[in-house]
């Protein structure tokens, strides 16, 4: 189960926006809109429709979580994409700095959550198994567009992870555990449970240059 440990106030988050990064790299597509080039996973659970990656369907239940992972690893980056979630009690998310668990459908790492009361949360999948930071529920009610395309923006810079949903910041989290890696794959999830579809499109990434500590 997912438990909230911290709510961030709407007054603080609505004033925040992604930082300008003059020395950052250019944006590049992470998904070409036509193929799974650069991605790996169980393609019986993922398909491509109208330029979007679609996970799950509206007729079948799922016994396990499934993830479509990048073949390349990323450490410091900014990611932007559009997401849509359809289905009763549907849940999904975008994995960051993540690893596959051998001989399992699961992964381990940070997740930018989607669905129900978890929209805009930062969850720790298969590791601490809890929400690391959660926005005010009233802010999410005003921000999320149920059943429609929503803009997600994710920034991983050193130990700091920030999330924005439809232009509103929902998470500003700094990892205190020095043992947690700052690298891994990016993955798209469809959660176990009732029939649901999670769609992802216009996925773009840019790598960030983080000054080394001296």
For residue 172, give the CATH number of its domain: 2.60.120.560
**What is the spatial distance between Cα 144 and Cα 147, in angstroms, rounded to a whole number?**
9
Global pTM? 0.88
Q: 106 lies in a domain?
A: yes
**What is the spatial distance between Cα 159 and Cα 27, in angstroms, rounded to a whole number?**
21
Q: Which residues of 88-125 are buried (b: 16+ CB within 10 A; e: fewer)?
A: eebbbbbbbbbbbeeeebebbbbbbbbbeebbbbbbbb
The CA angle 7-13-16, to the nearest 5 degrees, is 150
Q: Where are the alpha helices (DSSP H) in the chain?
A: 10-13, 137-143
pLDDT at 213 (0 to 100): 60
Number of domains the chain contains: 1
Residue showing tokens 């500003």:
172
Give Cα separations from 31 to 84, 109, 112, 156, 206 (angstroms). 16, 21, 18, 19, 13
| Helix (H/G/I), strand (E/B), else coil: 42 | coil
> 185-190 and 92-100 as β-strands: parallel, antiparallel, unpaired?
antiparallel
Q: 18 lies in a domain?
A: no
Q: How confident is the model at residue 12 (pLDDT cuts 50, 70, 90)?
A: very low
Q: 28 lies in a domain?
A: no
Q: 32 lies in a domain?
A: no
Give Cα separations from 47 to 44, 54, 155, 157, 196 (angstroms). 8, 5, 26, 31, 14
User: Which residue, 82, 83, 76, is CA-closest to 161?
Assistant: 76
Adjacent-strand bridge partners of 107: 100
Q: 163 lies in a domain?
A: yes
Q: 22 lies in a domain?
A: no
Structure tokens at 111: 């997740």
**Residues 128-172: pLDDT tens digits?**
999 999 999 999 999 999 999 999 999 999 999 999 999 999 999
CB contact at 8 A, 106 and 126: yes
**What is the spatial distance between Cα 208 and Cα 205, in angstroms, rounded to a whole number?**
10
Q: 35 lies in a domain?
A: no
**Residues 23-46: pLDDT tens digits?**
468 999 999 999 999 999 999 999
Q: 128 lies in a domain?
A: yes
CB contact at 8 A, 133 and 8: yes
Q: Which domain holds residue 187?
A: 47-207
**Residues 75-98: pLDDT tens digits?**
999 999 999 999 999 999 999 999
């Amino acid at each position: 189960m997912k438990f909230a440990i911290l709510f961030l106030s709407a007054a603080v988050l609505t004033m925040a926006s992604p930082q300008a990064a003059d020395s950052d790299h250019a944006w590049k597509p992470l998904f070409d809109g036509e193929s799974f080039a650069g991605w790996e996973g169980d393609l019986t659970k993922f398909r491509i429709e109208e330029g979007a990656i679609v996970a799950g369907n509206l007729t079948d239940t799922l016994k396990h979580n499934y993830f479509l992972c990048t073949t390349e690893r990323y450490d410091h980056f900014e990611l932007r994409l559009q997401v849509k979630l359809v289905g009763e009690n549907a849940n999904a998310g975008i994995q960051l700095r993540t690893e596959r668990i051998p001989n399992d459908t699961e992964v381990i790492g940070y997740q930018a959550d989607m669905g129900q009361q978890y929209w805009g949360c930062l969850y720790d999948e298969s590791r601490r198994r809890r929400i690391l930071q959660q926005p005010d529920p009233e802010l999410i009610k005003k921000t999320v567009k149920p059943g429609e395309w929503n803009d997600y923006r994710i920034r991983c810079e050193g130990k700091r992870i920030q999330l924005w949903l439809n232009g509103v910041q929902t998470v500003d989290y700094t990892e205190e555990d020095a043992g947690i890696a700052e690298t891994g794959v990016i993955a798209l999830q469809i959660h176990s449970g009732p029939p649901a579809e999670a769609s992802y499109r216009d996925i773009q990434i840019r790598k960030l240059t983080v000054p080394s500590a001296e």
